[in-house]
Every structure is written in structure tokens, then in C-alpha cells.
Amino acid sequence: MSIADNIIKYKTELEAEGARLIAVSKNHPVEEIKEAYAAGQRVFGENLVQEMVEKQEQLPSDIDWHLIGHLQTNKVKYIASFVQMIHSVDSLKLLKEIDKQGKKNNRVIDCLLQIYIADEETKFGLGYDEAIELLRSEDYAAMQNIRIRGLMGMATNNVSEKQVKTEFEELSVLFDGLKQSFFKEHTDFNEISMGMSSDYKLALEEGSTMVRIGSNIFGARTIKKRKEN
């Protein structure tokens, strides 16, 4: 199927489950993103700051750009003026920098706390206790230019469906606990970003509100993978 067909397929399926599609456009050229845009997709996820900035400058201004990859504090300033949501907040230090850059740009930046749920050392994220400690901190209480909208988690790769389902379930339980403890009066703490091309159906079963799908929409990457310093 074409990129447009894939967009329509996933948008229809996810919206029926109360979730939104984050089309992961990393390593794919502007021309392919334009095809997805023409099919009605407005939310795109990128892993690298430099690639996101380059694409943002070439594409329509009504695209919502989501940073879904690991984010270094010294890169926040490059996206603070336009990024719609940062999924990968994995430290208080990073959150403080986002708040600082949000203030410089006179805007409030939506963020998700990335929680470590996978049985893989290569994954990033806060431990459960670390997330609670962050939300209890005076530093967080003083922030005026960030808004915590929910949680993000990445399940372990190449394991049984049972383990993946358990990891998603644990993230959902943590979300409910944090909402009750810290965001009871905040209706905008309402996002759980979990699930990708290989496991999104399991994520939907556990309450995902945002699913990150790339290869099933765009196919294999077409831009040579690059590293970001």
C-alpha cells in the first residue's frame, strides 16, 4: 500500500480505539512526509533534533512535531520555539532546561515523562521512584513553562507478547497512580505514549492514547542513518 493508504488505515484503526497516530518520520525525506500530510496526517515524530529542525523549516507550519528520541539538554534550545511535545523527558535536569527554553520563547512546552519499563539496558527512562521524586521536588513545583501531559514507555524488543503486555500494563498502572497523587485536578494529564509498529495492538489494550508508527507507514528508512553529537 502507499503511504497515504497506510496513514488512512492506521488513523482509522487508532481513532476507533481512542488513540492518536504519531507518524514516525525519522530517516525519511520531506517528500514522503508531504505524502502523509496530503493524506491528512498532522502529527510527526522525530528522534534527532537536527533532522527535525531541517524538516520543520521545509514543511507546513500546522504540523505538530513530537520529539520522541533521547534528548540532550544542549539540544533543547533548537526546538523550543516550535516543538509540540517532548516524549522523552528522563531527568529533572532535562525538564529544567525545557522550562528555561520555554520561558525564553514565551511558551509552555508539553512533555511526557519517559519511564523505564523495558528489560534492556539500552533504553532510557526514569525509574518509578525517580518519577515520583521528580514530581515531589521543589524544582518541578517552580516550573512555569512546561506542562506534564502524561507518560511514555518503550517495551522490550523481541520478547513474548506476555512480557510486552505486562510492561505496558505496569506503565498504565503507574499513570493512574501518578494522576491520582499529583494530577487529580489536572484534566490535561491524559496521555500514555506506548506502542510501535510491532506491538501497538497490545499497547491499545492497556490504554495507550498515542501510538508511534514508522516502518509500517513509510517502509524501510531511505535517509542514511546519522548520529547526533
pLDDT tens track for 103-120: 999 999 999 999 999 887
Position 124 pLDDT exceeds 60: yes
Position 227 pLDDT exceeds 80: no
Quote the longest CA-to-CA distance of the chain: 51
Nearest to 23 by CA among 60, 84, 65: 65
Reduce the DSSP state of residue 125 to 3 states and report it: coil
Position 177 pLDDT exceeds 80: yes
CA atoms within 13 A on the CB side of 219: 9
Fold category of 3-210 in CATH: TIM Barrel (3.20.20)
According to DSSP, the residues that pair with 211 across neighbouring strands are 21
Which phi and psi angles does 68 have, rounded to 5°?
-110, -10
Q: Write down the pLDDT at residue 186.
A: 84
Domain boundaries, the chain: 3-210
The alpha carbon dihedral of 61, 46, 216, 127 has a sign of: negative
In sequence order, what E strands does the chain have? Answer: 20-24, 43-46, 64-67, 85-89, 109-115, 146-153, 191-193, 210-213
> Rg of the chain over CA atoms, in angstroms?
17
Interatomic CA distance for residues 229 and 226, integer angstroms: 10
Cα distance from N-terminal residue to C-terminal residue, the chain: 36
Overall average pLDDT of the 44-50 stretch: 97
Overall average pLDDT of the 27-32 stretch: 96
Predicted TM-score (pTM) of this structure: 0.94
Q: What size, in residues, is the chain?
A: 229
Q: Write down the pLDDT at residue 123.
A: 72
Cβ neighbourhood burial of 17 (10 Å; 0-12, 13-18, 19+) = middle
Position 225 pLDDT exceeds 80: no
% of the chain exceeding 90 in pLDDT: 88
